[in-house]
């Protein structure tokens, strides 16, 4: 294991679980994490239970007992480091209302004052209305004292000089320096040239090279010259990949792992870190507790992501299959299925599932029946190569998690 990641693992083992957010899962009893378990990283804070890359998500990630929260940093047009994932603001903000002529403009083309005018919470749910795009320093403020931070340098070509700015922040800002000294900061990124530059500027900060798939031994050996770990998509991971990464002297993290079965699978493979949108629920699983103690009994049994023909063909196409595994009838009217990108499928009023009953929830158009509900959408929702889904009740309670 790379020495600097070993330090992070040691620091994480000394961190206790804190009280959970009131709108997520019931509070857990504080306890020492298992030093042998992988690091747990809350993706974009806790993107499954709060709007991604917002203070609300950072608080959920901290409250989960996760070892780290992950954030995405970019530079505004006037050089301010802000936290946002996408290249444009359209998916997760009200930019179309505030700046209608700039909805598809690069998010880095906005000044910090302009970015602060955007609502970055309402897309996720009404209770998050008014959440703003945070400053980089907000992550340190929320994390201080209990949680580490994975800083992803996002699209560095759109933010010239960002490596130097982040390196200076970590070296000079007292709040960030405190986290660095505690072994609670890592920098990550997909862009190898950017990572090499950051390693030159800040050689003492643990660094992770992100990749879609684990490369061959020659490339891993090259990465070992500047990085401490590799982060990869869990869906493509094999036991051989794990062995190759560790043979190169690197540690291994995986993203974005949301379903309980998927989490267990990567833990069994021996990864060193697991990044997911639902750190509250993942922490419960890793601690051997019930993942969803308030579940209604309705679960996501399956999903057809890539049907023959169009994904949204009339009366057919992609769908999510719900099943009532409880011993009582459950009214699923108003239930919502949300994917990792924030897309939603809803269920209309009047749908009651008897014990053992099933319901197909389609993205596209069709004639709804007792066993089928059509959302009437014109665009695909489910990723054809696999997706992570969450089922929410009409009372905004998390009912199930699923990944395929």
Buried-exposed string 202-226: b where 16+ CB fall within 10 A, e elsewhere: beebbbbbbbeebbeeebbeebbeb
Provide CB contacts within 8 A for 338, sequence distance 6+. 344, 345, 389, 390, 392
List, in sequence order, every residue forming a beta bridge with 185; answer none if it has no partner. Answer: 149
Instruction: Tokens 């009838």: give the residue.
Output: 329
Q: Is 43 a residue of the active site? A: yes
Q: How far separated are the first and last CA of the chain, in Å rounded?
A: 30
Q: Is 135 a residue of the active site? A: no
- Distance from C-alpha of 137 to C-alpha of 117, rounded to nearest angstrom: 18
- Distance from C-alpha of 100 to C-alpha of 106, rounded to nearest angstrom: 13
Catalytic residue among 43, 135, 284, 338: 43
Catalytic residue among 44, 59, 62, 85: 85
Q: How many CB atoms lie within 10 A of CB 363?
A: 23
* Torsions phi, psi for 169 (to 5 deg): -60, -50
CA distances from 315 to 51, 335, 345, 352, 361 (A): 32, 21, 16, 21, 11
Please classify residue 3 by burial: count the beta carbons closer than 10 Å to its beta carbon, then call 0-12 exposed, 13-18 middle and 19+ buried.
exposed
Number of residues that make up the chain: 404
List, in sequence order, every residue forming a beta bridge with 339; answer none if it has no partner. Answer: 389
Helical (H) or strand (E) element with 358: strand 358-362
3 state DSSP class of 100: helix
Catalytic residue numbers, as ranges: 43, 85
């Amino acid at each position: 294991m790379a020495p600097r990641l070993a330090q992070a693992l040691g620091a994480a083992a000394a961190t206790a679980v804190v009280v959970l957010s009131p709108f997520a899962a019931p509070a857990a009893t504080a306890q020492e994490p298992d030093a042998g378990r992988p690091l747990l990283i809350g993706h974009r804070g806790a993107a499954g239970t709060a709007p991604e890359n917002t203070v609300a998500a950072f608080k959920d990630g901290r409250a989960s007992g996760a070892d780290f929260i992950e954030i995405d940093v970019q530079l505004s047009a006037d050089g301010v480091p802000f936290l946002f994932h996408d290249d444009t603001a359209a998916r997760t903000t009200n930019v179309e209302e505030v700046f209608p002529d700039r909805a598809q403009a690069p998010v880095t083309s906005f000044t910090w004052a302009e970015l602060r005018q955007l609502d970055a919470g309402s897309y996720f749910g009404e209770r998050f209305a008014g959440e703003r795009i945070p400053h980089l320093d907000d992550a340190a403020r929320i994390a201080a004292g209990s949680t580490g931070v994975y800083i992803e340098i996002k699209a560095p070509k759109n933010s010239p000089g960002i490596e130097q700015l982040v390196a200076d922040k970590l070296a000079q800002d007292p709040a960030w320096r405190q986290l660095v000294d505690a072994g609670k900061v890592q920098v990550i990124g997909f862009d190898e040239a950017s990572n090499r530059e950051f390693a030159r500027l800040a050689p003492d900060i643990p660094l992770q090279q992100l990749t879609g798939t684990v490369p061959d031994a020659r490339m891993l050996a090259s990465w070992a010259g500047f990085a401490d770990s590799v982060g990869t998509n869990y869906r493509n991971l094999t036991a051989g990949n794990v062995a190759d990464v560790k043979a190169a002297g690197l540690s291994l993290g995986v993203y974005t792992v949301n379903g309980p079965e998927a989490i267990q699978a990567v833990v069994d493979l021996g990864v060193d870190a697991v990044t997911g949108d639902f750190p509250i629920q993942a922490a419960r699983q890793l601690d051997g507790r019930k993942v969803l103690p308030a579940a209604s009994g309705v679960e996501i049994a399956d999903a057809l992501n890539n049907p023959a023909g169009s994904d949204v063909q009339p009366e057919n196409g992609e769908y999510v299959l719900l099943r009532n595994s409880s011993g009582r009838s459950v009214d699923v009217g108003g239930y919502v299925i949300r994917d990792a990108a924030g897309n939603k499928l809803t269920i209309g009023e009047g749908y009651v599932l008897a014990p053992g009953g099933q319901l197909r929830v389609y993205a596209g158009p069709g004639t709804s029946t007792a066993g089928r509900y059509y959302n009437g959408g014109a665009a695909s929702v489910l990723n054809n190569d696999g997706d992570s889904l969450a089922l929410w009740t009409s009372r905004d309670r998390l009912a199930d998690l699923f990944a395929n």
